[in-house]
A and B are shown apart, each in its own frame.
Chain A
Amino acid sequence: EAGVAQSPRYKIIEKRQSVAFWCNPISGHATLYWYQQILGQGPKLLIQFQNNGVVDDSQLPKDRFSAERLKGVDSTLKIQPAKLEDSAVYLCASSPQTGVSYEQYFGPGTRLTVT
């Protein structure tokens, strides 16, 4: 089966600009996650969707970050305006969350550099 797809793989922007990331999860996976991974740290959950509804966005900086999951499939994460501290790898993951398997399948990530 195809894995989690993310684009772009790399993005360089100046502070105060906006940027958007796209994620296509594994087909049939109900749960989709966006993580921020700063160099040398573990993934930090930004937002979690169950189908097309948000179940956890407690760590999403809502004044500048937004995310949506269209029709319970693809998702986009947007940052507007970007700050220097937003430089990180943004990981998308999906999970079947069937009760049998809680495994998360990660995409390759988008490396964002804010200058």
Chain B
Amino acid sequence: GENVEQHPSTLSVQEGDSAVIKCTYSDSASNYFPWYKQELGKGPQLIIDIRSNVGEKKDQRIAVTLNKTAKHFSLHITETQPEDSAVYFCAASRTSGGYQKVTFGTGTKLQVIP
């Protein structure tokens, strides 16, 4: 089955700096790569996603890049703010039998220091 590795497990940055989180996946059939943000006591919430036919996607301070050949994708957060502090999960998803089969990474705890 799919295996998603995520690094680093913890990341501390100064407010205003950039943060980068990297993930690798094993299943070359994966075609959808979402990123979720989980705040304390809440369920994960989608912040950005990318499909396999796109190499890069940006939404304000957040961007995701995908390298299908190397089977890795990354989340970039620029101009970090204290409210960006949370746990971030990457995921890789493939179409199987008419539905999406999703595997999550292990998470990165991001701390933005004011």
Contact = CB atoms under 8 A, between A and B. Distances in A.
A75 interface: no
Interface stretch (A63-71, A79-87, A104-112): A104-112
A77 to B, nearest CB: 15
B49 A43 contact: no
Task: Report whether over half of chain B's contact residues are helix, strand or loop; otherwise say mixed.
Answer: strand
A41 B106 contact: yes
B49 A102 contact: yes
A44 B101 CA distance: 12
B43 A102 contact: no
A40 B70 CA distance: 27
Contacts of A106: 36, 43-45
A70 to B, nearest CB: 20
A10 to B, nearest CB: 10
B43 A108 contact: yes
B42 interface: yes
A26 interface: no
Contacts of A55: 97, 99
Interface of B: 4, 6, 32, 34, 36, 41-46, 49, 89, 93, 97-107
